[in-house]
Amino acid sequence: MIEILPWQQKQMRQIFEMSKQDRLPHALLFSGPDGIGLKEFSLFFAASRLCLTKGSNDPCGHCQSCELFKGKSNPDIKLIEPDIKTGNFHVDTTRDLVNYTSLKAFLNNDMKIIIINEADVMNRSSANSLLKMLEEPSSQSMFILLSHRPSELLVTIRSRCQKINFYPTYSNESIDWVEKNFDNSKFSADLLLNLAGGAPLKVEALLEEEYLENRAQYLKDLELLNKKKANPVNIAACWNKLGAKSSIHCLMQLTNDLVRLKLSSQVKNITNTDLIDDLQGISNRLDLLKLIRSYDFILLKYKELTGPMNYNSLAILEEIALFWKNYKDSMA
């Protein structure tokens, strides 16, 4: 049966306390960084809330509701997510939802739970339909909205949800969890969790993308650009091939470390602890202002790339490479 992730105990206590006191609202908003396990938490909570065996916070695993949950076919739980290809919700999503919420619960617990993953991606008209459902809640439906960017949700939607926040975790139990669940033969669990920004589930994507192996390449490219020995357009094309989002993310983490090392050469202050020697060398050769300005620039570009506007990823990477190569010239 589904289990709670170790760093989510506090939120679990919070929500079960509400449930015990009969204060559970009909709409909840779980927010936190990508990879913190919002979906896992919402499914655990849904299974537990709908479990027909009462008396424990954990779903029993053998009642009719739990059996259906294990088969991913509990009719009283509806998980809605954006389409993987388009990144948007299907146009019929909200119409289906209106129909779904108008029906009675199927099982004996008189409750249906609708989980909307990445709720902030919803377009305006879907969001308005959702708002209407939240304004006139049916007593049998509970909405759980999940979001990494809650500020992108309509204010009117946010205000109708009870918010439960999840934060990056670096605790020993989270490190232990990463150690148990991922291959840490090449890189320590501690380093993996740091590079994942304290979002343990994100480690999987880092390993798949060979993110850790690629870091040395980015550092080399930055050096070449700085010495004006490389063409920014070619470098940007290489970065784009490695994945635009992960490239910018990596460049951001590396320049952040370079700034930190410029200010204090303590290894504990940086993220890429295993690259300390290379980072320190580069940091020594560059001036602080260039590093700070570059970091700010990359951060800005990262926001552009991950924001709602569809910027051209290659063009963004070229801008970064050009900025890094020409910084001194443009300031002169």
Q: What does the binding site for Zn ion look like in residue numbers (CB under 5 A)?
A: 51, 53, 59-60, 63, 66
CB of 127 closer than 8 Å to CB of 97: no
- When the beta carbons of 60 and 276 are compared against Zn ion, the nearer one is 60
> Please, what is the minimum distance in Å from the beta carbon of residue 53 to Zn ion?
5
- When the beta carbons of 49 and 249 are compared against Zn ion, the nearer one is 49
Phi, psi values for residue 158, rounded to 5°:
-55, -40
> Please, what is the minimum distance in Å from the beta carbon of residue 161 to Zn ion?
26
- When the beta carbons of 63 and 254 are compared against Zn ion, the nearer one is 63
- When the beta carbons of 66 and 261 are compared against Zn ion, the nearer one is 66
> Please, what is the minimum distance in Å from the beta carbon of residue 67 to Zn ion?
8
- When the beta carbons of 51 and 178 are compared against Zn ion, the nearer one is 51
> Please, what is the minimum distance in Å from the beta carbon of residue 318 to Zn ion?
55
> Please, what is the minimum distance in Å from the beta carbon of residue 51 to Zn ion?
3
